[in-house]
Amino acid sequence: MSDVLEYQSLLWDGLWTTVVASFFGILLTIVVAFVVGMMRLSKTRWLRAPSYVFVEFFRGTSILVQLFWVVYALPFLGVRFTDNLVAGIVVLGLNEGAYASEVVRGAIASRPRGQTEAGIALGLTPGQRMRRILIPQSIPVMLPSFGNVAVDLLKATPLLYFITVTEFTADGLAIRTETQETTAVMLSLLVVYFVLSMILALLTRLLENRFALERRTHPLLRPLVGSAS
């Protein structure tokens, strides 16, 4: 184990890369999820069709192939990222965003009809009903699944090694090759990824509690919840 500690600065660098990729990947996932999820709910076919193709493409193809395509194939078509880490974050965000968009679509579509009817009775436009009633009511339902997507994205970051991004796992494997301390290195990787996953789970639980409290106490939502029941 002492041999591994000699390379702790390298591990910290790799861990920072993993955290950065996960953080920005999750942010992009959230944006993609809401944009594509709302497109899937649109009554306009030219919005629904491309969103359907997007979701099925990213869910139906390997994320590793997507990474190779973006980094090594798209440059031949004139599309090039200045940094492979940025390219990796984009692929992770788009891939996980495709899954999360179904969470958004399903959560909003499952809202009781009474909430929409209450919004119509209040004279709200479709956009106002979505923004003020349906989305706020759906967020607590989305959060557990969003937490799972975030953890899944974190566990996908080692794939960035295949596009020459030296993140935490890549640095750990390099140290294992150098020191032959397989058990110590793999145990370190296991513990760190577990801790990061627990942090994401804790943040998700805190957000669930916060949004559940707001849902119970917000004066504009109480009559809508009552009308839905």
Angle (CA) 185-187-189 rounded to 5° is: 70
Q: What is the pLDDT of residue 99?
A: 94
The overall average pLDDT reported for the chain is 84
User: Side chain identity at 6, as an amino acid letter?
Assistant: E
Q: Is 90 exceeded by the pLDDT of residue 123? A: no
The answer to whether the beta carbons of residues 165 and 85 sit under 8 Å apart is yes
Q: What is the pLDDT of residue 139?
A: 84
Lowest mean pLDDT across 25-34, 111-120, 129-138: 111-120
Residue bearing tokens 């990787």: 189
User: What confidence tens digit (pLDDT) does each residue in 62-85 have?
Assistant: 999 999 999 999 888 888 888 899
Q: What is the pLDDT of residue 200?
A: 94
CA distance 175 to 171: 6
Q: Tell me the pLDDT band of 42, cut-offs 50, 70 and 90.
A: confident
Structural domains of the chain, ranges and CATH numbers in brackets: 2-228 (1.10.3720.10)
